[in-house]
Structure 1
Amino acid sequence: MTGPRLLTDHELEQSTVVANNTMNRERGLAGVNSYARELGLDPVHHLLTQSAAPSWLDVCSGEGRALREAAGRLPDASVLTGIDLVGPLAPSPPPPGVELITASIATWTAPRAYDLITCVHGLHYVGDQLGLLTRAASWLTHQGLFVAHFDPDSIRWADGRSASRPALAALRAAGFTYHPRHHRLTLHGPRKVDPPWDYLGADPHAGPNYTGQPAVASYYQPSGPWSAGQAP
């Protein structure tokens, strides 16, 4: 039995599951459908405790509504950056301090360190999820916080078997904390992570994940010191 045809990042970004994703396009800062509810923290309140000129990077930011709302509540010197594959569908000039970038997160690199990095349900549509996590770990300030939704069941070995347990073990060893009840992955402070995996490609036809929406499965093979019995 052969497994699914795995797509490159470029191919994945052209797929209907990724290109048509609307998971996070209109989510604001507070309320029922909000960043505060999804992340378990108020981004503005958190940022105000960090510095006089806090910085926030929102990955898969959609329309950038949360960043636009935050700009009016944070100091003028704040730096608020959003990156999204599609970007705002009806672009309007963002307020001062807000930069909305339309680009692929697979190749984009943060130009600076950030006090807060968030990714609300965006990892579900990224090919190399583990690669993005290791890169984002190096984009934090010394006191920075990373918060993202993560589905361990979407991490698989080349033969299709689940790699969720070894993936979580490797992430925890690198300093990440996983909160299974809310499917959140957090990290405090920057890390240099040497990932023990090689990315093989992604399957956009993996079916719904815990959100009930179609999502991507990411495929890997081990390349480092996985714990005994965890690697294939």
Structure 2
Amino acid sequence: MKNKPLIFGLVASALVFGLTCCVGIFSFAFQHHIENAGGGASVGDACDRATDCDVAAGQSCMHDDAGGFCTTRCQTSDVCAPGWVCEGSTITRNGQDRSGGSLCMRPEPGREALQTGRARVTQLTGSVPGVGVGTLCSYRQIAVPTDGPLNSRWEVSCGTTYLYGGGTVGYNPRSDPSWPPGVLADDTGTTGEDGDAALHVEGGQIVVRDDDRGHHRAFEATLQLESP
């Protein structure tokens, strides 16, 4: 009779320990399942719901007329699937359209990539964060379905930094009768003149420049196109 309190105490301690362990194991398993939901999915993969995508990597499932696809926030198109673009999105709340930030978007029909490639900075005057001589950058020309003259959009980006294009700027004609042979783009106006930087693409070389009103202030960068 004297040992009953001790026995009851040991039994109670065992029950508490067992319950704590079970709860801990369940919590870990549940958390592990949630964190790994959709693990291994890539941007551009088909999806029906968010958990089909790599949620832990910041992906979400977006739907358009062609179905659902995994996407992620972006600053440049480099993180998107090949041929896809980094564009601003719109969300509707309380009947009002608001910016949803930039997301990797699959190109709509007629908006395919016309040219893509890599280019290395060979000269730079001015200061652009994260960019210097030797920096490897990417470029792309995207078709724009329009009857107007600005039927393509150029992007030149170095990591997460745009030298030219991105968002709602960078529009150019695909060709112009006034251009000499070999010229692929010739936007001569800087931000103070037409709202974005100047771009010239010719003979395996890209030149981007801007004035003091531009996002990176006054600079000029020359890039040499890399072989595929």
- For the aligned pair, the TM-score class normalised by the smaller chain equals under 0.3
Q: Could you say which structure has the higher strand fraction?
A: 2
Q: Which has the higher contact order (CA 8 A, sep 6+)?
A: 1
Which structure has the bigger radius of gyration? 2
Q: With structure 2 as the length reference, what TM-score do the two structures score?
A: 0.24
